[in-house]
Structure 1
Amino acid sequence: MYRRIALAAPFLIAGSGAFAQSSVTMSGYLDAGVYRDSAGTWNVGPIQRSNIAFSGVEDLGNGLAATFMLSHRFETDTGENESSNKPYFHGESTVGLKGGFGSIRLGRALDAMYGQDWQFDPWGYFDRVASPAWDLWHYNYPSDPFANRGGPDYGRINNGVFYDSPTYEGFSIHLSTAARENTRTSGFAPAEAMPLNSGTSTQPYGVSLNYNKGPFAAMVAHERNSVGNTDTFIGLKGSLGNLTAMAAWDRSVAGTSTARTVTAGLQYTIGPAMLRGGWGKVVVDGTRVEQVIGAGANYFLSKRTSLYVDLARKNYVTKNSTVYGVGMAHSF
C-alpha cells in the first residue's frame, strides 16, 4: 500500500560520529466515480476521498524516533484542491516524536475522536453516498470552528497537540487539544448553520479510550471545541467468521441544540468481495431530521485496486431521496 521513495538514508548525528536511519514514504488513495446526489444531480468525482501523503521516520536511537506527515486532499475529476477554503495540506501536517511512551505530534490532524471512530462504520466513515456516519455523526460538532480560513472543520483541528498511547492488553488512550491563538467567538456560523456558544472561548480537548483485541473493538470518546460545543461518542464492533457487526451512538451539543445519532452496520466478506449495509438516524431537538439506509459492494481486483457500487435511501424532514453511484479506488 505504500511506496518507499527513500530507503535507509543515513544522516550524521552532529558530534557523535554515529548514523541514524531515516526514510520517507509516499502513499495515497485515488478514488473516482459517477454518482447521483440527494439533489438529483449527476456528478463525476470522488465518492470517497483522494489524497497523496508524504511521511517520514528518523531513528534517533534508544527507542526514540522523529516523525512527520504531510497529506494533501484533492478532487480527482479536476485535480484541484478539495475545497477552496481548505489549506493545501488539509489532511494532515504534523511533526512529532514516538517511543516507548507512545507518540506525540504537533500541527494539524484529526482529533482524538475522529481519528478513531471510523472503524465503527461499514464504509470506514469514508463514503458520501451510502455511509450513514458520513451524514449523521457529530451533527452539531465542528472539531475546530475556524480551522479552514475562518470556516469549520468536522474532524481536524489547527494548532494542535496529539498524543497516542502504547497499546496494553488491547487498550489505548488518545488525546488532543489545541492552542487558542486563532480562536474567534463571534461573527461566524458553520456551513450547516449549527449554533455556537458565542461570547466564550474555552480550551478545546478530546479524549478517546479504545479497545481493539481479537474479534472485538470498543470506543468511548468525549470532546469540547473552542466555542464550548461538546460531543460524546460510543462505538462497538464484533466479528464472527466473515461477518462483522457494529453500532454507534453519538450526542453532540451546540448552544441550546442537541443532536442524537444512532447507527448500525454489517460487513460480509465473500472471497474478493465485501458486502456492506448500514442504517442510521439523527434526532435534533426532538425532531428526526434525517434517516439513512445504505448498501454497497466492493470487488477487490487486487490488494490495492477495487470496484464498488453504493446505494442509499435518505429521508429528510420535507423530502426523500435515493442516491447511488459506482466507482473505482486505487491505493499506493
Structure 2
Amino acid sequence: MHYKQALVLAGATLGAFAASMPARAQSSLTLNGMLDLGVFRDFDGASKVGTIQRSNLAIVGTEDLGGGVKAVLRLATRAELDTGASEGAGYKPFWHDEATIGLQGGWGTVRAGRAMTAMWANDWKFDPWANFNRIASPAWQHWHYLTPSDPFGNNGTAEYGRLNNGIFYDSPTVRGVTLRLSGSPERQREQGATRRPVSVVLEYGQGAVAAMAAFERNSIGDRDTFVAGKYTLGVVAIMAAHDDSRARATGGRSRAATLSATWQVAPAVLLKTGYSRQRLDAGVDHFVSLGADYSLSRRSTLYASLGRHRTTPQMPQMLHTAFGFGLAHLY
C-alpha cells in the first residue's frame, strides 16, 4: 500500500469511527504526530535533504469503559518527507512505529501488539535530543549498539527499538516510582532465537531529580544494561547515562558513558550539548555534539545540529563531522 493511499484510508476510518460513536460515549480518536525536514551533511560525506529527526503519523484512540477503565489504541507510521515514501518501505511494516490495543486503569496500562520495548520507550528522557536526531544525539550514536530489540522484527531483518508480538505494561506511579515491563510469550522460529525477549525498567521522577535503570534481553540472547540520571536546576538540566550492550553470538561488547546538558537561555531558545565515549571491543569513539532550538510557536521549531566523531584505528572509520538545519512541526 502506498503512503498516500494509507493516509486516505486512515482518514476514512477515522471519519467512520467518529460517525458511529454514540453521542453519550466518552470516546476519542485523534490524529497527531510530527513533520520534520532538514538540509544536512551526513557522516557519509553526502549533502542531503531529508529527515534529521523522524516524521510520524499516529492515530490514537481511547474509550471510557466505566469503573475507571479505558480501552486504548495506537496506530503509528513514519514517512520520509523528501520523497513521500514510508520509512523503510520494502522491509519495514507500514505501521512500523506502533500497532497496539490495550486497557488502562488504576492498576496501570497493558497493551499488546508491536511497540517500543520498555527500555527503548523511555531512554529518550535522558538525552537532550530525545534519541531522535541522527546528527547530534549521543544516544542515537552509541546506546544499545549491539542489542537489537527484535533481531527479526522487520520481515526478517533487525529492528532497533520495537518488539513484534509483544505485551507491554506500565504501572501506576507511586511516590515517583514507575515499573515498566515488555516481552513476548512467543518463541521466534528464526535461527539463533532461543529465548523469549524481556525488557524491565525501574524509573524515578520527582521534583528536580529523575533516574532510570533498565535491563533488556532479546530473542537471541543479546543483553543490554542501562542506567541514567537527570537533575534540573532552573533553566539548566544535566544528564548522565551508561549503556553496556553485549552480543551473545560474537562476544562483542559496547560500553558508552554519556554526559549532556540543556540550557533554556530565553523563552524561545534552547541550547544543547553532549559528550559520549564508546568503547567497542578494542576501539574507542569520542562523540561531541551541539544543538540549538528556536521555537517559532508552540508547535513549530527551527533547529541546528552538529556532531563530531573522533575514533581510534580499531573503530569503523567514518567522516568526523555532520551538521545541518531543520524545521519540525507538531500537529
Which TM-score applies when normalising by structure 2? 0.90
CA distance in 2, matches of 1:319, 1:29: 30
Alpha-carbon contact 1:10-1:21 (below 8 Å) kept: no
Q: Which one has a larger percent helix, Structure 1 or Structure 2?
A: 2
Alpha-carbon contact 1:235-1:247 (below 8 Å) kept: yes
Residue from 140, 143, 146 that aligns with 1:140: 146
**After superposition, where does 1:158-173 map in structure 2 within 5 Å?**
158-173=164-179
Tell me the residue number matched to 2:307.
312
**After superposition, where does 1:27-46 map in structure 2 within 5 Å?**
27-46=32-51
Equivalent position SS for 2:25: strand
CA deviation map 1:46-101 (0-9, x unaligned): 10000010010000000011010000101011110111211101110000000001
Tell me the residue number matched to 2:214.
221
Alpha-carbon contact 1:9-1:23 (below 8 Å) kept: no
CA apart distance, 1:242: 0.3
Alpha-carbon contact 2:44-2:318 (below 8 Å) kept: no
Equivalent position SS for 2:128: coil
Equivalent position SS for 2:244: strand
Alpha-carbon contact 2:269-2:293 (below 8 Å) kept: yes
Tell me the residue number matched to 2:324.
325
Alpha-carbon contact 1:10-1:20 (below 8 Å) kept: no
Alpha-carbon contact 2:187-2:196 (below 8 Å) kept: no
CA distance in 2, matches of 1:214, 1:328: 31
CA apart distance, 1:315: 2.0
Q: Gapped runs of 5+ residues in structure 2?
A: 1-13
Q: Gapped runs of 5+ residues in structure 1?
A: 13-17, 186-197
Tell me the residue number matched to 2:10.
none
CA distance in 2, matches of 1:76, 1:243: 33
Tell me the residue number matched to 1:234.
227
Matched residues, number: 309
Name the % identity: 45
Tell me the residue number matched to 1:103.
109
RMSD: 1.7
CA distance in 2, matches of 1:284, 1:39: 20
Pair 1:81 & 2:86 matched? yes
CA distance in 2, matches of 1:179, 1:291: 39
CA deviation map 1:239-294 (0-9, x unaligned): 10100000100001112111111111010002201000001021122321x22100
Equivalent position SS for 2:60: strand
CA distance in 1, matches of 2:18, 2:25: 9
Residue from 281, 286, 290 that aligns with 1:285: 281
Equivalent position SS for 2:294: strand
Pair 1:209 & 2:202 matched? yes
Pair 1:258 & 2:253 matched? yes
Alpha-carbon contact 1:208-1:219 (below 8 Å) kept: yes
Equivalent position SS for 2:26: strand
Tell me the residue number matched to 2:61.
56
CA distance in 2, matches of 1:119, 1:9: 38
Alpha-carbon contact 2:188-2:219 (below 8 Å) kept: no
CA distance in 2, matches of 1:280, 1:145: 25
Equivalent position SS for 2:93: coil
Tell me the residue number matched to 2:269.
273
Alpha-carbon contact 1:253-1:259 (below 8 Å) kept: yes
CA distance in 2, matches of 1:25, 1:319: 42
Alpha-carbon contact 1:32-1:46 (below 8 Å) kept: yes
Alpha-carbon contact 2:43-2:318 (below 8 Å) kept: no
Tell me the residue number matched to 2:295.
300
Which TM-score applies when normalising by structure 1? 0.89
